[in-house]
Structure 1
């Protein structure tokens, strides 16, 4: 199979997976469904992706690579930056997946990894550490704040370094 044919097949699988993500929660999607949607054999999907987590990770990386992230804006409002990049690319998927914990963890991780890879600023690690601390705090409180819809609250926590009272 030629390189272009392989790239086309991988793109079709990614697009089919994206369509499924607009209709079903990530946790409910199977590799068999992805293959059926892409009109390829299940083994073909496994040729390119280890599992659906790998598929999501590679897909998000592929989508985010073309997005420019304003580093100054990120340092001031990291959650709004994530929201803006994600919604510009993944609006329908984010809406469907907003309550899927596994999906959100992969999105967060990929965004942070890409940010680190694309920026040449060691000070960025301090900002990311603070952001991860807020995400962990939020997770400990059963994800009270949705990362994509409550970004203003999360950015306020980031800026003030004060967690709100949770009842």
Structure 2
């Protein structure tokens, strides 16, 4: 009889796979047009792909362990998969922003700032009427997100988001053995 993997052991391979897929997607977008990395639709496509792959690997794991999985097991599997994937992505982004193309961070920070200004205008706020010091603070805080410390801090905040997403995925992936109900 084969020994079953724990959710932590089972999440390593899918986490690495999803991380490498997202990293490949990031580098392909970078080589096509680096401004794609700052577009909303690119983020949305990456998020949908992320969800689909975790559900796919989660269902595979559920089948491997007998077709049933508790919410806790599904949550642990999903969360660990996302953490490993996030670490792979973090390493890739650090390499991209600090080794491959150090100027990319500035380009994406400017693009993000322009997007913020457009959103403010769409909500009725006139950026020209704002204090220049506030605008400069917004611009510098946007740029800080692309520094090494900013990327690490964003990953830390990302862990909270991963936990919330893992709760949703845990609810999707769990499956109770109804034959045990009396």
TM-score bucket of the superposed structures, by smaller chain: 0.3 to 0.5
Normalised by the length of structure 2, the TM-score is 0.30
Normalised by the length of structure 1, the TM-score is 0.32
Where relative contact order (Cα < 8 A, 6+ residues apart) is larger, the structure is 2
Structure 1 or 2, whichever has the larger Rg, is 2
Structure 1 or 2: more helix by fraction: 2
